Amino acid sequence: MMLVLMSLAVSLVSCIITHWIYKWRNPKCNGNLPPGSMGFPLLGETIQFFAPYRANNISPFITKKMERYGSIFKTNLVGHSLIISTEAEFNHFIFQNEGKLFQCCYPKSFNEIAGRDNLVSAEGSMHKYLRNLVMNLVGNETMRTKLIPKVEKTICKNLQRWCGQASIELKEAVAKMEFGFGAKILLSYSESKSSKNLRQAYADFQHGLISFPLNVPGTAYRKCLQKAVGIIKSILEERRATPETRNEKDFLDLVIEEMKKKGSLMTEEIALDLLFILVFAAFETTSTALTLAVKNVGEHPKVLEELAKEHEAILRNRKNTDQSGITWQEYKSMTFTHMVINETVRLANIVPGIFRKVLKDVEIKGQFQELNSSWIVMVCAPAVHMDPKQYDDPFVFNPWRWQGQELNSGSQTFMGFGGGSRLCAGAEFSKLQMTVFLHYLVTKYRWRVMKGGDITRIPAVMFPNGFHIQILEKNMIPEDAAAT
């Protein structure tokens, strides 16, 4: 009798597990879902998605899915049911229906770390409110009147310090420079004057950014929750408790003023979310793009020649010979530089996916889809940026492909800075920093690669061996060359 009961129990458990696996692999939908596979229960296909691969290529995971299922397919990543779109037309449709059929959405781990009311994930009036605050910091007028000289001063100081050193690891050096500048204009934070290591906290944040949201001691996710937000909060509390009189207000002062206003949307929780994500955005993506720009330009002599030609012409054409800095008009006139930046961003694909939550019934390629709120659509920009139907020789670095094209906004085939109404608020500021850096690099210095430069993606861009270069003044002879 006992054996019979045990057999029945085993059979029942087997049936339950089989049914659970079947439901996992065949999610409920009142319509025809795109083809695809959901992977293993709970884990989905996360491991395959995060498998490292060489840069300047489409993820093997995405490539295999496209070959098997077409340009739009379903899967499951980090615990979320996803429909991944690699089709330019449908991606454009998604961005054009922001707030109607789709809503900005990121994995639970991102929202738990960055805050549910962060600028990236906020919706509607809250997003508009936060975006307007940010534009006070990095809008065109502020950049033109205040930020250009500050950016120049920071870049010139660092290039001068790096010049003549045996070698610098460029990604780390630029990230440190960008972090210091961003933290200063946002929080008046100085790493040398603070006991709080804010930059290390952000390194932990990056490692846990798109992980399973396991709030357990020892995980990168838990470290993010405890360290980074805690440091930002302590800085906010100190400022509110002992306000200082500064000649020039930083962004934190603006946020605190907003918190004091009667009926303001700004709460302490929203302030922390906003400050946290802005500090991260201020350095990580720009430093990666700038490192890739230097690498690409250095590997293409004709591009370097054309870039130097444009910037030397800027210097020659100045009517005021005493002018010491770049003007806004000069910045806007650097057409080839902007082409180099767009091409760098197109190939870089720093953001592997842009996520939108499904709000209403959606028609995909002529088929009606009734998706519930558990479904998320991931716009896969890299697949479009590397599509030979959209770009000739898509894996080749060719800034001239942008000649005569719009350089300052997104399009159906270019989503390097997002798309639609949620185009990155700091896109122009990021371009400004890259432009100023390249201006001084090509007019005053030259560089050579010492070692490294290999790139892998996981899917974020990584330099496993670093990118070590030596920067010299244009008339300086390297010691090893002089010795020969």
pLDDT at position 11 over 50: no
Kindly state the average pLDDT of the residues 310-323. 86
Question: What's the mean pLDDT in 154-168?
Answer: 96
Provide the domain limits for residue 98: 29-108+350-385
Residue 410, domain member (yes or no): no
- The Cα diameter of the chain in Å comes to 101
* Whether the Cβ atoms of residue 184 and residue 282 lie closer than 8 Å to each other: no
The pLDDT tens digits of the residues spanning 18-40 come to: 434 444 455 555 557 888 888 88
HSE-CB at 460 with a 13 A cutoff on CA atoms is 12
Report residue 210 CA to chain centroid gap: 13
Q: Is residue 380 part of a domain?
A: yes
Beta bridge partners of 445: 473
Report residue 112 as tokens.
């738990």
Question: In this predicted structure, what is the pLDDT of residue 218?
Answer: 58
Residue 53 within a domain: yes
Find the range with the poorest average confidence among 117-131, 147-161, 318-332: 117-131
Q: Can you tell me the distance from the alpha carbon of 121 to that of 459, in angstroms, rounded to the nearest whole number? A: 21
Tokens of 280: 């991260």
Number of separate domains in the chain: 1
pLDDT given for residue 13 in this prediction: 45
pLDDT of residue 4: 46
Q: Classify residue 372: in a domain, yes or no.
A: yes
Give me the CATH number covering residue 83.
3.30.43.20
392 Cβ contact partners less than 8 Å away, ≥ 6 residues apart: 401
Residue 50 counted as domain residue: yes
The owner of tokens 């444009």 is 310
Degrees to nearest 5, angle at CA 482 with 480 and 484: 75
Give the highest mean pLDDT range of 87-96, 103-112, 125-134, 278-287.
87-96
**Binding-site annotation, residues:** 424
Residue 169 φ then ψ, to 5°: -90, 105
Q: 66 lies in a domain?
A: yes
φ and ψ at 171, to 5 degrees?
A: -60, -45
DSSP H helices, 349-472, are 381-385, 427-444
Bridge pairing between strands 461-462 and 72-77:
unpaired
Domain-located, residue 40: yes
Yes or no: say if 345 and 337 are a contact pair by the CB < 8 Å rule.
no
User: pLDDT confidence of 135, banded at 50, 70, 90?
Assistant: confident
Give whole-number Cα distances, 404 to 182, 335, 399, 410, in Å: 33, 10, 11, 15
Q: What is the pLDDT of residue 451?
A: 95
pLDDT of residue 200: 74
Return d(Cα 78, Cα 413) in angstroms, integer: 27
pLDDT digits (tens, 9 = 90+) for 200-229: 777 666 665 545 545 555 555 566 656 777
Q: Cα-Cα-Cα-Cα dihedral of 241, 244, 245, 251, to 10°?
A: -90
- The per-type count for the chain, helices as H runs and strands as E runs, is 21, 13
pLDDT tens digits, one per residue of 402-445:
998 888 777 889 988 887 777 788 889 999 999 999 999 999 99
Encoded tokens for 337: 């530089």
| pLDDT the model gives residue 190 | 77
- Overall size of the chain counted in residues: 484
The two tokens of residue 263 are 């009926």
Residue 51 has pLDDT above 90, yes or no: no
Known binding-site residues for heme equal: 424
For residue 337, the model assigns a pLDDT of: 97
pLDDT at residue 15 is higher than 50:
no
pLDDT band at residue 17 under the 50/70/90 scheme: very low
Residue 33 lies in a domain: yes
Please give the model's pTM, rounded to 2 decimal places. Answer: 0.86
- Say yes or no to pLDDT of 270 above 90: no
**pLDDT of 482:** 46
